[in-house]
Amino acid sequence: MDRVDSIRKKYRRGEPVAAIARELGVSRDTVYKYARMEDLSPEPPKARKRKPSKMDRWAPLVDQWLTDDSGENRKQRHTAHRVWRRLVDECGADVSEQTVRRYVREARLRLGGGPDCFLDLDWPAGVAQVDFGHATFVVRGTRREMPYFVASFPYSNVGLAQVFPGENAECVCQGPGNVFEFVGGVPTRVVFDNATGVGRRVCDGVRTTKLFEACSAHYGFEYRFCNPYSGHEKGSVENKVGTQRRNLSVPVPRVWDVDGHDERLLGRSRDMSRKERHGKGRSEPELFEDDLAAMLALPARPFECVEHGRARADKKGKVRVDGRHWYSTSPECAGREMVVGLWATRVAVTGDDGAVVVAEHARAYGDAPTDTTDPASQLPLLANRLGAWREGRAGAALPDDLRDHIDALDRRGLGEAAGCMRDQCALSGWDATVRAASASLRASGRTGPSAVALAVSRAETGEVSYDEAVGLAEYDRLTGVVADG
């Protein structure tokens, strides 16, 4: 551009074109071109000419695959790597993965399936987003995956976490209630995931449970549900779920009392927010004060997150909840209709008037059947208090040979046996585990985890039968167990 400027100035002063060309080392045509040019405004770059590519041959096929994907589940669509693998394996294409990735990226933009576009949302103070994540915990010695509730305040980026055994309405209502009581205020609006646990989606609306409606009315907050598969609508809590898992669940937490763990977890998760908030020039704790100032006042009493129902006790005085979990009361309650209260972590059984509590138990979750009178209910505690094994109900309920075998073990062996039975009972129930342990003891003289698990699997699938007799002599010969001949 300096040379162009010199050409134009010399030409305007009347210097000969040949002299200008000699002095600046350019041709006379160049001098004429820039001297007479009427507009030197910058021009946008021109589109690059597309060069032939190895993908030209396979482009129609790849376009068809990507078009067909539009009707499939988002998690079962072609990735660029999968497109490349199919071209190489099924079509014998000689193309690099990088070439395919570049083409797929351009094709998706052309076909309308490119990256999603998101709005940069500005969340006001006093609004919360909530969601559930999942992490592994060791609860009283039993390793299990449990959901954890996270409430995030996008204005300040402060997040608070709670661990629950499930994602039902009682847990979903108890989580916000715990958070509200901890911070001393109620958000003006709470954005939930796709109605998980508090109702079900019907067409374009959500039919919420009576418990959730009572909870929102008690605290006075407005609520909204995200659209299906639209995590970006609550990106703050989505990020916070991952952050809480990486920082508070690594290494795997060992928990004895879940309620006590949750009380400590509220403070620990809040204290993680200490840095300056991106784009706002203030720290997260300072911005959280604005959140608190914008919240509603707490009601005089916390909301009782409980579902009440009626169940008739069987001949042994036990009531069944959720179709597979049995809770004991007392023998004199046999045949009577009882009132059952279901909280997130406990169950209370009262008389038909709901006044006097007859029995209270920790609430059971999972697909495996449970029974509070079942000896398996003692195993988590006995596995950690081996000194009470001989007086425990679990040992007394074992067959004689299995009980004698376990009683004869040293402390380490007793701990392994109790832990094995505890873990297997959580998967298969007491009866199946005892039968498997007895079968393993008779077959191998051992009751280790692998042997018991194998025995349970055999009991569930049955013995394998063959049309013809199976001879193992050839295997013995090959392994050298039996000499030739």
Indicate the SS3 state at residue 408: coil
- Residue ranges of alpha helices (H) inside 25-127 are 28-35, 59-69, 80-91, 97-111
- Beta bridge partners, 132, equal 149
Helix (H) or strand (E) holding 73: none
381 DSSP 8-state letter: H
pLDDT at 300: 92
Q: Do 421 and 405 meet the contact criterion of CB atoms below 8 Å apart?
A: no
What confidence category does residue 462 fall into, taking pLDDT thresholds of 50, 70 and 90?
A: low
Averaged over 57-63, what is the pLDDT? 92
Mean pLDDT of the chain: 82
pLDDT at 110: 84
Is the pLDDT at 280 greater than 80? The verdict is no
pLDDT tens digit sequence for 94-149: 999 999 999 999 898 888 755 554 444 568 899 999 988 888 888 877 788 889 99
Is the pLDDT at 47 greater than 90? The verdict is no
d(CA 234, CA 152): 9
What confidence category does residue 485 fall into, taking pLDDT thresholds of 50, 70 and 90?
A: very low
Q: Give 483 or 277, the one with higher predicted confidence.
A: 277
pLDDT tens digit sequence for 379-407: 777 778 787 777 776 777 788 888 888 88
pLDDT at 484: 45
Share of the chain above pLDDT 70, in %: 86
pLDDT at 53: 86
Averaged over 12-25, what is the pLDDT? 88
Is the pLDDT at 42 greater than 80? The verdict is no
If you search the block for the tokens 């103070």, which residue do you land on?
125
Q: At what angle do helices 430-444 and 411-428 cross, to 10 degrees?
A: 130
pLDDT at 186: 95
d(CA 415, CA 231): 44
288, two tokens: 């959280």
d(CA 53, CA 380): 64
pLDDT tens digit sequence for 435-451: 888 888 888 887 778 77
297 DSSP 8-state letter: P
DSSP string covering 110-153, please? Answer: HHT-S--------PPTTEEEEEEEEEEEEETTEEEEEEEEEEEE
DSSP string covering 299-368, please? Answer: PSS-----EEEEEE--TTSEEEETTTEEEE--GGGTT-EEEEEE-SSEEEEE-TTS-SEEEEEEPP-SSS
* Residues contacting residue 163 through CB under 8 Å, at least 6 positions apart: 137, 146, 147, 148, 149, 255, 258, 261, 262, 265
What confidence category does residue 75 fall into, taking pLDDT thresholds of 50, 70 and 90?
A: low
pLDDT at 119: 45
pLDDT tens digit sequence for 226-257: 755 454 455 677 888 888 888 888 788 888 78
pLDDT tens digit sequence for 82-94: 999 999 999 999 9
Total count of residues recorded for the chain: 485
pLDDT tens digit sequence for 218-229: 999 998 887 554
Q: Which amino acid is at 41?
A: S
Tell me the CA end-to-end span of the chain in Å, nearest whole number: 98
pLDDT at 446: 78
Averaged over 332-358, what is the pLDDT? 87
Is the pLDDT at 79 greater than 80? The verdict is yes
pLDDT at 478: 63
pLDDT tens digit sequence for 173-185: 999 999 999 999 9
